[in-house]
Structure 1
Amino acid sequence: MSEAQADSPALDSLAERINYLFAKVTPEGGERSEYTGQEVIAWLREHGYELSASHLSELRRGIKINPTMRVIDGLARFFAVRVGFLHGDPDAVRDVIAELRLRRALREAQVTDIAARVAGLDPAQRHAVADFITQMVYEQGSGSTGADSSPAGGANA
């Protein structure tokens, strides 16, 4: 297991996974750290999904734990992640965490040419590249050069 995977959050509940997406998938431009519930609901409605503000709030607080497949699909589409992530599929959770870390590293470093090169790799190779880039970004930011360093928590997408 890579250090980035070892440092990944558990995300055992649907509420934790939804809140993780709110925290890690940030609006373009970087003025704000997180989408509002109203922005998510407005987008969902524009795209034919029905979800009320209260229902989204209850999902985020863990009060509602069994939304319809349509709601899960809409949330996955809004945050541009695999539906399996919201279902708690361990492989999908691992993959989405790695992908969101890679998105952040690419955006922060403005190295989208790397993304184009990585796109042709198989999934295992993409995960290895994502872990490597995340580690490199972390080490550069912390001034660390040791192999023991691991990213603290997730990275914003």
Structure 2
Amino acid sequence: MDDDVAPGERTARVFRRRLNELFARGRGGRPVTNREAAQWMTERGYSINEAYLSALRGGHRSSPSLRVVEGIAAFFHVSTGSLVDPEEDPDDRLRAALADEGVEQFALRAQGLSPENVRAIIEIVDRVRRLEHLPPVTPPVPDGDRG
């Protein structure tokens, strides 16, 4: 990044870039709209509207409240830090998991499944982890903030 950029501007740029990457990547294997994201967040107590999301994504607004950042993180199932911290790489956890033998093959087979079936498989994997006395996988956001 450019050393002449003010720290607040650097954070705003990181936030905008990562927010747009998340929208492009989507949820459940398909891109999402500002309207879908805003509706999901509003239904869960994160006060945000489609126009404000659009302004954040376009760089017209650059200082969202912590509550808005938490809502966005909850919607995309990422940590708040991955949205704003230039030092945190949001894909580090994924890369580490994919390096584990078999995980990549497992993920490839799950591609294209319905969200309901993916959740069912996650529940099965969680049960197997308990049987093998492995620690639970910690989600990046609290369960109460998930959809």
> When the two structures are superposed, what TM-score results if normalisation uses the length of structure 2?
0.57
Assess if the C-alpha contact under 8 Å between 1:73 and 1:83 holds in 2: yes
Distance across 1 between alignment mates of 2:13 and 2:94: 18
**Corresponding residue of 2:108:** 108
State the match for 2:22 in structure 1.
21
Give the match for residue 57 of structure 2.
60
- Is 1:98 matched up with 2:99? no
Match of 1:155?
A: none
Q: Supply the AA of the counterpart residue of 2:107.
A: R
Q: 1:15·1:59 contact (CA, 8 Å) conserved in 2?
A: yes
Segments of structure 2 that go 5 or more residues without pairing to the other structure are 1-11, 111-120, 137-147
User: Where does residue 84 of structure 2 map in the other structure?
Assistant: 87
Contact 1:14/1:62 (CA < 8 Å) preserved in 2?
no
Higher RCO (CA 8 Å, separation ≥ 6 residues): 1
Q: Which amino acid aligns with 2:31?
A: E
**1:118-157 to 2 correspondence within 5 Å?**
120=135
* Equivalent pair of 2:73/2:83 in contact (CA under 8 Å): yes
In the alignment, which of 68, 72, 80 is matched to residue 71 of structure 1? Answer: 68
- Provide the residue aligned with 2:139 in structure 1: none
Q: Displacement of 1:12 after TM fit?
A: 4.7
Aligned equivalents of 1:100, 1:40: Cα separation in 2: 23
Identical columns (%): 28
Q: Does 1:48 align with 2:49?
A: no
Contact 1:76 1:83 in 2 (8 A): yes
Displacement, 1:88?
2.2
Flag the 1:100–1:78 CA change in 2: closer, same or farther, 3 A.
farther
- Counting matched residue pairs gives 105
Q: What are structure 1's unaligned runs of at least 5 residues?
A: 1-10, 122-157
Give the distance between the partners of 1:100 and 1:23, measured in 2 at CA. Answer: 17
Aligned alpha-carbon RMSD (Å): 3.5
TM-score by length of 1: 0.53
